[in-house]
């Protein structure tokens, strides 16, 4: 009996995961468009085409749903990092690739969502209360970049007289969600170009200019 059951369970389980995926996608959409507080469980359910109660069979509540999204996006992002920077030869090239990846890559949308969610005062409490393993993810990301920066310093590419922490902070600043982006940048600058220039500024800022 078990042998028959297992595939059945798997099927159901598969459908269940598919639906969960749909919920997450819908939630991401609405969160992106309206932000946490203007996002209602009703609208998410409506976009998926399921009943509101069904969401609660997948997630214990709104906060948990959002945290799950947050976590998943973060994981996806972190998992993508290695692929992206693997091919690059130097630490600084890796950092540049990372910046480009987050602005232009397949996950640019998630990146922006992540970033906009991470800011926003409400998140603080949620992360503190129910953050769970998120801290680990965050630290993994931080240590990744920290390592790159320190390798850059060791390789003589980056300026050793600037604390790594500040470089880190400065690097993450480039990702900040800026709802006023368009106000500052207008429309006639592609993300590609923006990244190019941002990197130039940032790299020049942290580069080791010593002439040996």
Partner DNA sequence: AATGAATGAGGGTTCATTCAT
Partner DNA sequence: TATGAATGAACCCTCATTCAT
DSSP of 65-111: HHHHHHHHHHHHHHHHHHHHHHT-SSHHHHHHHHHHHHHHSTTHHHH
Q: Which partner in a copy of itself, DNA, none is near 56 (CB below 5 to 8 A by kind)?
A: DNA
Q: Count the residues of the shown chain that bind a copy of itself, applying the rule CB under 8 A.
A: 52
Does residue 133 touch a copy of itself according to CB under 8 A? no
Nearer to a copy of itself, 92 or 116 (CB): 116
Nearer to a copy of itself, 87 or 121 (CB): 121
First to last CA, the chain: 75
- For a copy of itself, the binding residues in 32-71 under the rule CB under 8 A are 32-38
Nearer to a copy of itself, 49 or 86 (CB): 49
Q: Which partner in a copy of itself, DNA, none is near 198 (CB below 5 to 8 A by kind)?
A: a copy of itself
Nearer to a copy of itself, 1 or 128 (CB): 128
Does residue 106 touch a copy of itself according to CB under 8 A? no
Q: Which two tokens stand for residue 202?
A: 């940032």
Nearer to a copy of itself, 35 or 105 (CB): 35
Among 1, 86, 183, 210, binds a copy of itself (CB under 8 A): 183
Question: Hey, which residues does 158 pair with through a beta bridge?
Answer: 207
Q: Which partner in DNA, a copy of itself, none is near 154 (CB below 5 to 8 A by kind)?
A: none
Q: Which partner in a copy of itself, DNA, none is near 105 (CB below 5 to 8 A by kind)?
A: none
Cβ proximity of 118 and 124 under 8 Å? no
Spatial neighbors of 97 by CB under 8 A, at least 6 apart, are 84, 85, 87, 88
Phi/psi class of residue 51: alpha, beta or left (left: φ > 0; alpha: ψ in -120 to 50)?
Answer: beta
Among 143, 169, 190, 191, binds a copy of itself (CB under 8 A): 169
Q: Which two tokens stand for residue 109?
A: 């949308």
Residue 92: which of 172, 195, 208 has the closest Cα?
208
């Amino acid at each position: 009996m078990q042998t028959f059951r297992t595939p059945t369970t798997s099927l159901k389980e598969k459908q269940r995961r598919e639906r969960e995926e749909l919920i997450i996608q819908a939630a991401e959409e609405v969160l992106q468009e309206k932000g946490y507080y203007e996002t209602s469980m009703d609208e998410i359910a409506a976009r998926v085409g399921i009943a509101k109660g069904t969401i609660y069979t997948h997630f214990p509540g709104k906060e948990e749903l959002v945290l799950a999204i947050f976590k998943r996006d973060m994981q996806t992002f972190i998992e993508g990092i290695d692929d992206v920077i693997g091919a690059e030869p130097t630490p600084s090239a890796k950092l540049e690739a990372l910046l480009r990846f987050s602005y232009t890559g397949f996950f640019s949308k998630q990146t922006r969502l992540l970033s906009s969610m991470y800011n926003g005062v409400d998140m603080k409490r949620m992360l503190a209360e129910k953050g769970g393993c998120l801290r680990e993810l965050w630290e993994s990301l931080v240590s990744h970049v920290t390592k790159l920066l320190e390798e850059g310093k060791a390789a003589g590419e980056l300026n050793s007289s600037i604390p790594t922490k500040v470089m880190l902070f400065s690097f993450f600043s480039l990702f900040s969600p800026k709802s006023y982006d368009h106000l500052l940048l207008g429309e006639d600058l592609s993300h590609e170009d923006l990244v190019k220039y941002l990197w130039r500024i940032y790299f020049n800022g942290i580069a080791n200019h010593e002439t040996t």
